[in-house]
Structure 1
Amino acid sequence: MKIKLTLYKIALILLVFTSCSNGGSKGMSDNSYENKSFYTMENGELIRPTGYRSWIFVGTPVTPNELNGGKAPFPEMHNVYIDPASYDHYKKSGKFKEGTILVKELVSVGATSAVSGNGYFEGEFIGLEASVKSKEHFPNEPGNWAIFSFTEPKTGILKERAKQFPYAACAACHDTNADDDFVFTQFYPVLRAAKGAGAINPEDGAKRTAEKKDDSKKLGIWDATAPTPTDKKFDIPLNEEKLFAFLNTESYKKLKYQEKETHKSAGPHETVRSYISNELAESVKAGNKEHPIGSYAIKEQYKDGKQLGWAVMLKTQDKTDNGSGWFWYETLDRNDISKKAAYGNGVKGCVSCHSIGNDMVRATFLN
């Protein structure tokens, strides 16, 4: 009798352990992210992602107005997340897979000081955007990436679905400036460490990069990356003081080719009106791949019906050379020369937006 009871207990224990083991395996299978999709497309629109704060947190970049001449295109903080399946794939293969989604939650800049010192600290949630890589849904988009925004600034309530942004609005900048397949991995050490790491968790490693003192001046997105010629004469001056004075004379308004009225900018400027030199206009209309030296465009910038400043571009050499052959200038106040946003050749902030145009020119009214 004792033997039978003992055998019964052993069988019961084995049954319990077997059940637990099977249950655990089943749970692991259910949690596998290998083929799971973390987004839904309906009729060409992206349904607003949910639960993304439990995904892999990538980082929080911020480009405040104070460091961008008062004119940061994106002054808010961006909390960026990537879905777990794509993160695992990126670790294994070093590539963003079909179906990757990155969510960017927009957060206002809140306090600029704390007990630890001065800095930029998060304020309130103000918007939501997403990037999706899908050959199935976006076969004709570069890299098969599409970008969406669910933000409704007027109501403060996120939209339930969103249409894809035009390539020129966002993806063109990613295409030109992002380090890895339209993703700005150069600003996300989490992704850089994960790329091709395999099955290991890169954060578990003990190695860290020692802080090195860097006394060199790092170029910002609105700084010149190429020298501006001083030995050539053009129809408009390149010297900052002389150019500012020239713009205030408004003599450029006599140009033959100009927009009839102001309109909302397709780029980071708010409301604009463009004036194009004869040489540039004729070159654009002819479809030339390289516009002639000395051709230029002047863009008046407006806000609330008032003209604030100008943006200027002028071709200074035969070859565009990734934007280095163009001179760029932008001022935000026609009465204050110190309110300069950009000056010089090869300004990345200008080149990245204009690179989708015909030799940097996006003047559609000439077509």
Structure 2
Amino acid sequence: MAWFSPARRLTAAMPLLCLLLTPATGSAATDSPAPFVPQFDKDDRLTFPADYRDWVYVTTGIDMAYGPAMRMGHSMFDNVFVNREAYLAFKQTGTWPEKTTFVLEVRGAADKGSINKSGHFQTPEVMGLEVHVKDTARFHDDGWGFYSFDAGEAAPPPAEQLPVEQSCYSCHRDHGAVDTTFVQFYPTLRPIAEAKKTLSAAYLAEKP
């Protein structure tokens, strides 16, 4: 067996050290997705964030209605997702940063299928898609814009902002727990807002 002198051992080890210390550019271990930024086309229409199901899941509601109860004859699930950067910022501050984007995904509720004997489960078909974006430079009323997309499309085309006269704006503004959003219905985020004291005065006034 050949023994290296200390100097030769150090020299022999240098290539290995270089491999260990050099950033692995392009490798799966170091690559991370670019931060999400909502995209708008030349006509100021919002591009649908197709990868929203890779975001942070916030909550699910079933048959929720903020106005008079509607008799639809069937149940619906509302699934809410938010981009990861906004979620992490909320955990730190208790409020939403610029470019926060929510997706509301509506699915039908079924009760008969496989081994299910009671209760409801979600169906594969997406029946509604709505997006809520924070951009105070773009939306001058309260800093947020609403968009509705065609859920029947595999790749929904860009959508125009819903008119600010629609009730979704005033409802969120008057009743949203944090920054016009319904954090009161997000079970893992409401305690953060309570601890950070970022709950809105409007919500606290009507809180049971």
Pair in the same fold by TM > 0.5: yes
Structure 1 position 105, deviation (Å) = 1.4
User: Any gaps of 5 or more consecutive residues in structure 2?
Assistant: 197-201
Contact kept, 8 Å, 1:92 with 1:195, in 2: the verdict is no
Using structure 2 for the length normalisation, give the TM-score: 0.74
Using structure 1 for the length normalisation, give the TM-score: 0.44
Higher relative contact order (CA 8 A, sep 6+): 2
State how far apart, in whole Å, the 2-side matches of 1:16 and 1:99 are: 38
Alignment root-mean-square deviation, CA: 3.4
Aligned ranges for residues 333-344 of structure 1 at < 5 Å?
none
Q: Look up the match of 1:105.
A: 105
Post-superposition CA distance 1:13-36 (Å, at most 9, x none): 2112112xx338x98986387xx3
User: Any gaps of 5 or more consecutive residues in structure 1?
Assistant: 199-321, 323-347, 349-367
State how far apart, in whole Å, the 2-side matches of 1:9 and 1:195 are: 56
Q: Look up the match of 1:2.
A: 4
User: Which residue among 8, 17, 20 is the counterpart of 1:17?
Assistant: 20
Structure 1 position 151, deviation (Å) = 2.0
Q: Look up the match of 2:58.
A: 58
Q: Could you say if the C-alpha distance between residues 69 and 118 of structure 1 is closer, same or farther in structure 2, counting changes exceeding 3 Å?
A: farther
Structure 1 position 144, deviation (Å) = 0.9
How many residues align? The count is 187
- Given the alignment of the two structures, is residue 150 of structure 1 paired with residue 149 of structure 2, yes or no? yes
Contact kept, 8 Å, 2:82 with 2:101, in 1: the verdict is yes
Q: Look up the match of 1:44.
A: 44
Post-superposition CA distance 1:312-362 (Å, at most 9, x none): xxxxxxxxxx9xxxxxxxxxxxxxxxxxxxxxxxxx9xxxxxxxxxxxxxx
Q: Look up the match of 1:166.
A: 163
Contact kept, 8 Å, 1:93 with 1:196, in 2: the verdict is no
Contact kept, 8 Å, 1:76 with 1:106, in 2: the verdict is yes
Aligned ranges for residues 157-236 of structure 1 at < 5 Å?
157=153, 159-169=156-166, 170-195=168-193
Contact kept, 8 Å, 1:138 with 1:144, in 2: the verdict is yes
Q: Could you say if the C-alpha distance between residues 88 and 28 of structure 1 is closer, same or farther in structure 2, counting changes exceeding 3 Å?
A: farther
Q: Could you say if the C-alpha distance between residues 121 and 195 of structure 1 is closer, same or farther in structure 2, counting changes exceeding 3 Å?
A: same
Larger Rg: 1
Contact kept, 8 Å, 1:79 with 1:104, in 2: the verdict is yes
Structure 1 SS opposite 2:62: coil
State how far apart, in whole Å, the 2-side matches of 1:117 and 1:178 are: 36
The one-letter code of the counterpart of 2:92 is: K
Q: Could you say if the C-alpha distance between residues 107 and 23 of structure 1 is closer, same or farther in structure 2, counting changes exceeding 3 Å?
A: same
Structure 2 SS opposite 1:79: strand
Q: Sequence identity, in percent?
A: 25
